[in-house]
Amino acid sequence: MDKTTSGWMHGLVGVIIFSGSLPATRVAVMSFDPVFLTVARAAIAGLLGLALLWMFREKRPQRADLLPLTIVAAGVVIGFPLLTALALKHITSAHSVVFIGLLPLATAVFAVLRGGERPRPAFWLFSCLGSALVAGFALSQGGSASPTGDLLMLAAIVACGLGYAEGAKLSRRLGGWQVISWALVLALPIMLMLMLSSMPPSLANVSEPAWIGLAYVSLFSMLIGFVFWYRGLALGGIAAVGQLQLLQPFFGLTLAASLLHEQVSPSMLAITLGVVLCVAGARMFAK
């Protein structure tokens, strides 16, 4: 298998894993406080990452790697999980996954700013049109949606795009699983302290689905998904492979409808399809 094909295959597996993140978070925040959920998932994944680094006796990152790893930790270990958990207190997971259509654009912007990639002008035309569709959809919802939830989701997308691009650039030298593991370990002391301080007085009333949601976002969303995703971006190109995220709204909407029995409106599907088509057009001009 050539390098590009391997990159796309790894990226696709990562997107499929990430597609379950928002529905799992939605289930978990029904019993857990969003802040506790964020720090708990990071702490659990950090302990697993530390164990992996110790088992494989990985060398410590260089001093120059500390700032990029801090950006990765701020974006995907803390920023995206916390902002989405807070957003899902105001909106449904079916509504939130529409915003995932913005992730390819955010990732591509940071691929230019941080990764040195240069897509053609037509790429930005398609990407901006997709962004306008998502923004228009959010505004058109009026009282049926939450402006607070929408703004939190937009902030989460920016944080995630930066974390993806920074981590992918670093993965070219350190390796995909090593980058996310070191980022998790870097944040681990703070996450452990915050987890202990924000732990609810009693866990007796936590539902079984909420425990399953916490387990999923800790193991798959926070660690395993990034092993595939960072490798895919590093091998196939950040802006190009990043367009695979256009599949994530479809996967996410399917999960929200089938597992959480949430209503997926025709307008939600139509806007998601429009965003997907725009990003697909952008992909043609990614290089």
pLDDT digits (tens, 9 = 90+) for 140-157: 765 556 889 889 999 999
Q: Kindly report, residue by residue over 114-133, the tens digit of the pLDDT.
A: 888 888 889 889 888 988 88
pTM value is 0.87
pLDDT band at 139 (very low <50, low <70, confident <90, very high): low
Number of domains in the chain: 1
What are φ and ψ of residue 111, in 5° steps? Answer: -65, -35
Q: For residue 262, is pLDDT > 70?
A: yes
At residue 287, the pLDDT reads 67
By residue range, what is the domain housing residue 127? 3-284
- The full length of the chain comes to 287
Q: Kindly report, residue by residue over 8-32, the tens digit of the pLDDT.
A: 899 999 999 998 888 899 899 999 9
